[in-house]
Structure formats: C-alpha cells, structure tokens
C-alpha cells in the first residue's frame, strides 16, 4: 500500500478527533462561556451542519482543481477552524468556528477516498479506503480520550490548539507524501457539470440511502449508549469512557475487515455487515442485562457498523465513476444525516416510554430498512446488466457478474 495513504489517515485522525471530542467537553465549554448545557450542545449541531453543507459544495467547486491541492486546502481550512475555536472570545464566535471547521470534513473524506482508490490496483480499492478511514476509527480509540483528558485538565481551548497542530502535521504529510499529480479516478475532468450529472443516477441515490439507513441504525443506539450502560448494565459513570474505547476498537477492527472482504465481494460484504448490525441491535436488550455482555455488545456494535463503511463509500464512487468526487463527498453528508436522524429516531423511542434499550430496537428497524434499500440497489444493478447477456460479436453470451463471456462451441465437438 502506498505511503501516501498514511498522509490521508493523519488528516482523518485529526478530523475524527475534533468531531467527537466536543461531546466530552460540553460541560467545560458551557461553564467557561456561561451558557446552559443544551445551548452548548448546539456546537455539535453546528459542526454537523457544516459537514452536510460543505461536503457537496466544496467538492463541486473544486472539481477542476488538482486533487493534491484540494486536499491540502481542505486541511488548511480545517486547521484554521480549530485555531479560531481555541481563540473564540464567546459562544457565538465558537459556534461559527465549529461550523467553519465542519465545512471541509466531508469533502476531505470524499476526495480522499477517490485519490486513495487511484493509488492502488483495482483489487485493493476497498482496502485503500479502509486504511484512510483507519485514521477516523483510531481517533475514537486514542485521539478523543486523550484530547478529552487534556481539555478537562488544561482547558478546552488547549484541546483545539492540539487538534490544530495535528492539522498542520497532516498538511505537511500531504505535501510530502502525496504525488503532485494525485489520481482522481476521473474527477476533475468533467468539471461541475460532470459532477452534478453523476448525482442524477438512481443507483447513486440508492447507495446514499443505504448509508443513511445503515448508519442511522448505528446512531439510533450509540447516541444513547451511556444511559444504557449506566441505567441497565449497572456501570458507574466514570467507566463509560473506557467502554466507549471498546467501541472504537471494534470500529477499527470492522473497518479493516470490511476493506478486505469488500475487495472480494462488495455487495456481499454490505449485506453481511447490515445483517450483523441488525442482529447485534436486536440482541441489545438481552446483552445489556450483565456487565460483561454489555461490554461485548458495545464492541460488536462498532465492528458490525464499520464493516459497511468502506463498501458503502466504494459503491457510491463506482456508481458515479465518471465524476466520483461529488458523490463520494455526498456520502459523508449522508453519514452525518444518519447521525442526526438516527439520534432523533432513537429519542422518539425513549420519549414514547419503551425503555432505555428501545433506541437499539429502533436501530434494528433502520437496519432492516437499510437491507431493503441495498436489495433494491442490487435489483436495479441486475436490471441494468441484463441486456449484456445478448449477442457479443455475433456469439451467444452469458453475463457472469460484471463480465460477459462468449460461449464458443467445443473444438472437439466440431471436429476441429
């Protein structure tokens, strides 16, 4: 695997750290800026809004620019946003800085995934995407806990300064390791018109819908994992951080496993991951009854969910193969919509009085929806590929997967 993938992973590590660390620092931020905890929670929403808006917008606006320059520019914007967060004099300026920081998030992962797949052989595309995403999952194991502890002991502003330093390291890594003519998998050749045309494809929208439903299933449960662990499994609040690190370990393992399996069978890995996620979520009410099984459930949740990460990203890119950057970035926006929508649906289950583990059951229902959308996408693919089974160069042909092979008569039978 090319060393350039390490530079992309460093950027992903910084982005993953700044996205999730704010959740652990909300009490400190609220106290320092003299706002209520719910008001401080809008800082999470501001970042997510920046991702949803910035992902397609920046990918479209930079469609004709060299990929290396785009990635470096996005990481510079990310670094500036974190530095402004550290220096924010008040709540509203911090809110604006968090929105700014979220803008390059989706475009970086979207363009980065296109570049990553262009750096490797076709049979290693999914693994290359999973290695870039490794920075994101590792952030949940190492970056977020370390940054949270730093913020709690030295102030939340120090945390954002540290993430700014990671951003500068990522800029240096991208400049030093990424080829000047970084591949774009067709991106940049059709400009804005070509990128927008890719979004008119039904398979692209079905792939994006699978992302929203599949990861919505994850966030329906994960958004309320703390009350499940403390109120049902009986863990002390102080141990929740360690248990969430188990989720990060599971997510890292699932990400790497999904990359390997998807290079062998993209759609099979997607179906298997969504099915595993459905089973884990359906068993959550049972697994939360004891401490050890609850810890196992947290790890399995991360593994099952992130097995589907690389296959979904690669599927969106393949469906928009002529201009994949915008579609790939839109998949990151879909991921954040899944975050918001899943948390909302899980909250509805809690508000209805169905119990602390009911968000996981709601997540299982979303996983069923994700499987349904994925199956519909598969049916559309089969319908599109069906005409390939006709005549090829005057010979009967049989479509096998994506390949069409002519069926010639045996030379022995013909006497030749």
pLDDT per residue as tens digits for the range 330-389: 888 898 889 888 888 998 998 899 999 999 999 999 999 999 999 998 898 887 665 544
pLDDT of 188 higher than 50: no
pLDDT of 206 higher than 80: yes
375 and 262 assigned to the same domain: yes
192 lies in a domain? no
pLDDT per residue as tens digits for the range 61-83: 888 888 899 999 999 999 999 99
Quote the pLDDT of residue 369. Answer: 96
Q: Which of 131, 165, 185 is the last residue of a domain?
A: 185
Q: Tell me which of 56-65, 176-185, 211-220 is least confident.
A: 176-185
295 and 317 assigned to the same domain: yes
201 and 180 assigned to the same domain: no
Q: What Cα–Cα distance (Å) separates residue 30 from each residue in 38, 39, 91, 146?
A: 9, 8, 9, 20
220 lies in a domain? yes
Q: Which of 185, 210, 242 is the last residue of a domain?
A: 185
191 lies in a domain? no
| pTM (whole model) above 0.85 | no
pLDDT of 404 higher than 60: no
Name the nearest CA neighbour of 88 among 48, 18, 33, 15. 33
pLDDT per residue as tens digits for the range 318-329: 887 767 888 888
225 lies in a domain? yes
Quote the pLDDT of residue 149. Answer: 83
Name the nearest CA neighbour of 280 among 308, 256, 259, 319. 308
327 lies in a domain? yes
Question: What distance lies between CA 249 and its chain's CA centroid?
Answer: 16
**pLDDT band for position 1 (cuts 50, 70, 90):** low
pLDDT of 170 higher than 50: yes
pLDDT of 23 higher than 80: no
Helix axes 202-222, 324-351, angle to 10 degrees: 40
Quote the pLDDT of residue 386. Answer: 53
3-state helix vs strand vs coil in the chain, percent to 5: 80, 0, 15
Q: What is the 3-state secondary structure (H, E, C) of 125-182?
A: HHHHHHHHHHHHHHHHHHHHHHHHHHHHHHCHHHHHHHHHHHHHHHHHHHHHHCCCCC
Quote the pLDDT of residue 245. Answer: 87
172 and 209 assigned to the same domain: no
Quote the pLDDT of residue 190. Answer: 55
Residue 316 in contact with residue 204, Cβ under 8 Å? Answer: yes
Residue 327 in contact with residue 198, Cβ under 8 Å? Answer: yes
Q: Locate 393 and state its tokens.
A: 């160069």
Q: Locate 27 and state its tokens.
A: 């009490």
Cα separation of 334 and 140, whole Å? Answer: 20
Average pLDDT over residues 262-266: 91
Question: What distance lies between CA 78 and its chain's CA centroid?
Answer: 17
283 and 240 assigned to the same domain: yes
Cα separation of 142 and 23, whole Å? Answer: 15
30 and 104 assigned to the same domain: yes
Percent of the chain with pLDDT over 90: 48
Cα angle for residues 369, 46, 146 (degrees, 5° grid): 90
What integer best gives the mean pLDDT of the chain? 85
- Domain span at residue 39 reads 1-185
Q: Which of 155, 185, 215 is the last residue of a domain?
A: 185
Residue 330 in contact with residue 174, Cβ under 8 Å? Answer: no
**226 contact partners, CB below 8 Å, separation of at least 6:** 237, 240
Quote the pLDDT of residue 212. Answer: 94
Question: Strand, helix or coil at 406?
Answer: strand
190 lies in a domain? no
157 and 211 assigned to the same domain: no
pLDDT of 390 higher than 50: no
70 and 180 assigned to the same domain: yes
**pLDDT band for position 101 (cuts 50, 70, 90):** very high
Give the residue, 326 or 399, on which the prediction is more confident: 326
Q: Tell me which of 183-197, 227-241, 374-388 is least confident.
A: 183-197
6 and 137 assigned to the same domain: yes
Q: How many domains does the chain have?
A: 2
381 and 357 assigned to the same domain: yes
Average pLDDT over residues 102-124: 90
Percent of the chain with pLDDT over 70: 88
DSSP state of 399: E
Q: How many CB atoms lie within 10 A of CB 335?
A: 27
129 and 203 assigned to the same domain: no
Parallel/antiparallel/unpaired status of strands 403-406 and 397-400: antiparallel
The CATH number of residue 104's host domain is 1.20.1250.20
**375 contact partners, CB below 8 Å, separation of at least 6:** none
Give the residue, 414 or 128, on which the prediction is more confident: 128
269 lies in a domain? yes
170 and 232 assigned to the same domain: no
Q: Residue 183 phi/psi, 5° resolution?
A: -65, 150
Average pLDDT over residues 118-133: 89
146 lies in a domain? yes
């Amino acid at each position: 695997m090319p060393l350039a993938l390490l530079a992309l992973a460093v950027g992903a590590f910084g982005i993953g750290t700044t996205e999730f660390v704010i959740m652990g620092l909300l009490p400190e931020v609220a106290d320092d800026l003299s706002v209520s905890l719910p008001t401080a929670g809008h800082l999470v929403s501001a970042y997510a809004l920046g991702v949803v808006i910035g992902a397609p917008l920046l990918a479209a606006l930079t469609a004709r620019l060299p990929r290396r320059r785009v990635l470096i520019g996005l990481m510079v914007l990310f670094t500036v946003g974190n530095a402004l967060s550290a220096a924010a004099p008040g709540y509203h300026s911090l809110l604006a800085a968090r929105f700014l920081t979220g803008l390059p998030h989706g475009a970086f992962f979207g363009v980065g995934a296109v570049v990553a797949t262009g750096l490797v052989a076709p049979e290693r595309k999914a693994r290359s995407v999973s290695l870039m995403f490794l920075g994101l999952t590792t952030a949940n194991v190492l970056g977020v806990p370390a940054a949270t502890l730093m913020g709690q002991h030295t102030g939340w502003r120090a945390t954002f300064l540290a993430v700014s330093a990671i951003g500068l390291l990522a800029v240096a890594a991208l400049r030093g390791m990424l080829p000047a003519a970084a591949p774009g998998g067709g991106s940049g050749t059709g400009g804005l018109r070509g990128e927008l045309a890719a979004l008119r494809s039904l398979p692209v929208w079905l792939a994006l819908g699978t992302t929203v439903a599949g990861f919505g299933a994850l966030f329906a449960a994960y958004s309320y994992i703390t009350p499940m662990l403390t109120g049902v499994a009986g863990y002390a609040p102080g141990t929740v951080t360690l248990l969430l690190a188990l989720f990060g370990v599971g997510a890292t393992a699932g990400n790497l496993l999904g990359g390997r399996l998807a290079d062998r069978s993209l759609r099979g890995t997607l179906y298997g991951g969504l099915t595993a996620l459905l089973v884990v979520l359906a068993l959550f009410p049972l697994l939360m009854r004891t401490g050890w099984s609850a810890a196992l459930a947290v790890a399995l949740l991360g593994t099952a969910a992130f097995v589907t990460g690389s296959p979904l990203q690669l599927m969106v890119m393949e469906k928009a193969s002529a201009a994949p950057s915008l579609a790939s970035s839109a998949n990151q926006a879909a991921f954040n919509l899944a975050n918001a929508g899943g948390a909302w649906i899980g909250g509805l289950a809690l508000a209805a009085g169905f119990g602390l583990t009911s968000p996981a059951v709601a997540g299982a229902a979303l996983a069923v929806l994700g499987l349904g959308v994925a199956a519909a996408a598969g049916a559309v693919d089969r319908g599109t590929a069906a005409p390939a089974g006709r005549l090829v160069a005057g010979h009967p042909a049989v479509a096998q997967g994506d390949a069409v092979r002519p069926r010639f008569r045996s030379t022995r039978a013909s006497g030749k």
